[in-house]
Structure 1
Amino acid sequence: MSTITIGFIGIVIVVALLMLRVPVAIAMGTVGFIGYWLISGFEPAVKLMGMVPFSTVANYTFTVIPLFILMGYFVYYGQLATDMFSSISKWFDRVHGGICYATIVGGAAFGAANGSGPASTATLAKITVPEMERLGVNRRLAYGIVASAGPLAQMIPPSMLMIIYAILAEQSVGKLLIAGIVPGLIIALGYILTVFILLKRNPSLATKSERYTMREKVKSLKGIWGITLLIGAIMAGLYLGYFTPTEAGAIGALLALLITIFSKKLTFEGFKKSVMESIKTTATVFLIVVSSFLFGYFLGISQIPHTVSTFLTGLDVPPMVIMFGICALYIFLGMFIDMLSAMFLTIPIILPAVISLGFDPVWFGVIVVFLAEISLVTPPFGLSIFMIQGAVKGSKYSEILKGSVPFIVADFVILLIFLFFPDLILFLPNLM
Structure 2
Amino acid sequence: MDATTATLIATGLIFVLLLLGVPVFAALGLAGVAGIVMIEDLAFVLNRLKSFSYAQSASYLLTVIPLFILMGAFAHHAGIGSRLFGVARNWVGHLRGGLAMASVLTCAGFAATSGSSVATAATVGAVAIPEMKKSGYDPRLSAGAIAAGGVLGVLIPPSVLLIFYAALTEVSAGKMLVAGVLPGLLSTLVFIVGIWAVTASGKVPAPAVPRQGWRVRLASLKDGWQVLALFLIVLGGIYLGVVTATEAAAVGAFAALLMLLCARQARPALGRRLYESFRSAITTTVMVLFAMLGAGLFSLFLSLAQIPQQIAEAVVASNVPPLLIVALLLLSYFPLGMFLDAFSMLVITLPIMFPTVVSLGFDPIWFGILAVKMCEIGLITPPVGLNVFVIAGIDRSTPLTRIFQGAWWFVIMEFVATAILFAFPAIVTVLPEMMLGK
Is the Cα–Cα contact under 8 Å of residues 138 and 206 in structure 1 kept in the other structure?
Answer: yes
Q: Which whole-Å deviations, capped at 9, do the CAs of 1:157-200 have from their partners, x for residues lacking one?
A: 11111111111112111111111110000010001111222333
Alpha-carbon shift at residue 203 of structure 1 (Å)? 7.8
Is the Cα–Cα contact under 8 Å of residues 93 and 208 in structure 2 kept in the other structure?
Answer: no
Alpha-carbon shift at residue 96 of structure 1 (Å)? 3.8
> Matched residues in 1 for 2:351 and 2:204: separation?
49
Report the more deviating stretch, 407-416 or 227-236: 407-416
1:41 aligned partner: 41
Whether 2:436 is the aligned partner of 1:426: answer no
Q: Which whole-Å deviations, capped at 9, do the CAs of 1:326-364 have from their partners, x for residues lacking one?
A: 122111111233232222211112211121122211111
Is the Cα–Cα contact under 8 Å of residues 386 and 397 in structure 1 kept in the other structure?
Answer: yes
Amino acid at match of 1:368: A
1:312 aligned partner: 315
Q: Which whole-Å deviations, capped at 9, do the CAs of 1:235-293 have from their partners, x for residues lacking one?
A: 10111111001101101110110011112344111001111221122122122223333
Whether 2:387 is the aligned partner of 1:384: answer yes
Q: Which whole-Å deviations, capped at 9, do the CAs of 1:208-237 have from their partners, x for residues lacking one?
A: 413445554444334222122111211101
Is the Cα–Cα contact under 8 Å of residues 99 and 208 in structure 2 kept in the other structure?
Answer: no
Is the Cα–Cα contact under 8 Å of residues 132 and 142 in structure 1 kept in the other structure?
Answer: yes
Amino acid at match of 2:173: V
> Matched residues in 2 for 1:285 and 1:83: separation?
30
Counting matched residue pairs gives: 432
Is the Cα–Cα contact under 8 Å of residues 112 and 230 in structure 2 kept in the other structure?
Answer: no
Report the more deviating stretch, 7-16 or 266-275: 7-16
Any unmatched runs of 5+ in structure 1? none
Report the more deviating stretch, 247-256 or 224-233: 224-233
* RMSD of aligned residue pairs (Cα, Å): 2.0
Whether 2:343 is the aligned partner of 1:340: answer yes
2:63 aligned partner: 63
> Matched residues in 2 for 1:21 and 1:430: separation?
45
Whether 2:173 is the aligned partner of 1:173: answer yes
> Matched residues in 1 for 2:68 and 2:133: separation?
33
Change in Cα spacing, 1:97 to 1:301, as seen in structure 2 (3 Å) is closer
> Matched residues in 1 for 2:215 and 2:362: separation?
51
2:244 aligned partner: 244
SS in 2 for 1:201: coil
2:183 aligned partner: 183
> Matched residues in 2 for 1:13 and 1:360: separation?
34
Is the Cα–Cα contact under 8 Å of residues 33 and 49 in structure 1 kept in the other structure?
Answer: no
Amino acid at match of 1:385: V
Alpha-carbon shift at residue 103 of structure 1 (Å)? 1.1
> Matched residues in 2 for 1:7 and 1:30: separation?
13
TM-score under structure 1 normalisation?
0.94
SS in 2 for 1:394: coil
1:412 aligned partner: 415
Change in Cα spacing, 1:236 to 1:116, as seen in structure 2 (3 Å) is same
1:366 aligned partner: 369
TM-score under structure 2 normalisation?
0.93
Residue pairs, 1:254-403, within 5 angstroms: 254-266=254-266, 267-403=270-406
> Matched residues in 1 for 2:65 and 2:406: separation?
33
Residue pairs, 1:135-146, within 5 angstroms: 135-146=135-146
Whether 2:76 is the aligned partner of 1:73: answer no
2:86 aligned partner: 86
> Matched residues in 1 for 2:416 and 2:383: separation?
21
Residue pairs, 1:99-110, within 5 angstroms: 99-110=99-110
Amino acid at match of 1:65: I
> Matched residues in 1 for 2:432 and 2:409: separation?
31
Change in Cα spacing, 1:95 to 1:11, as seen in structure 2 (3 Å) is same
Is the Cα–Cα contact under 8 Å of residues 388 and 395 in structure 1 kept in the other structure?
Answer: no
> Matched residues in 1 for 2:138 and 2:32: separation?
48
1:197 aligned partner: 197
Change in Cα spacing, 1:177 to 1:19, as seen in structure 2 (3 Å) is farther
Is the Cα–Cα contact under 8 Å of residues 145 and 404 in structure 1 kept in the other structure?
Answer: yes
Is the Cα–Cα contact under 8 Å of residues 72 and 114 in structure 1 kept in the other structure?
Answer: yes
